[in-house]
Structure 1
Amino acid sequence: MGAFSGKGSTSAGLDQLLERMERAEFDLIAVGRALIADPAWVKKVRSGDWAEIKGFDAATLAELV
């Protein structure tokens, strides 16, 4: 909810996410912020094009209006 009030967030690597998934730490994983910032996120992740992934910034939400 912090993003909606102008706060940003830091990203974590997918390797860290995979490790935490293997430990069953989550009930749900969302990539909404990633898709808002970079609609091609899924394609880039699948192709391993990590350098081209655009990070989320709270200012991105203003572009949706």
Structure 2
Amino acid sequence: MITTESPILRWVKSSYSNNGGTCVEWAPGYASATGVVPVRDSKQRTGPVLMVSVDAFAGLVRIARGTGL
């Protein structure tokens, strides 16, 4: 699900976004409380928020780490 509205969230920049360019943020507290992980582009803070399941987010992390699906 993609939404342009999001509740007040505490965003954390991904540790894989340290190159100063492509930056992804997520809200771990929201994920812990709901089982849904909000993800956004840190350069577009008022832009859309991708809401994914915990399992889908874990898959994205595995891809970012280069360990595949």
Using the size of structure 1 for normalisation, the TM-score is 0.32
* Larger proportion of strand: 2
Using the size of structure 2 for normalisation, the TM-score is 0.31
**Larger relative contact order, structure 1 or 2 (CA cutoff 8 Å, min sep 6):** 1
Larger of the two Rg values belongs to structure: 1
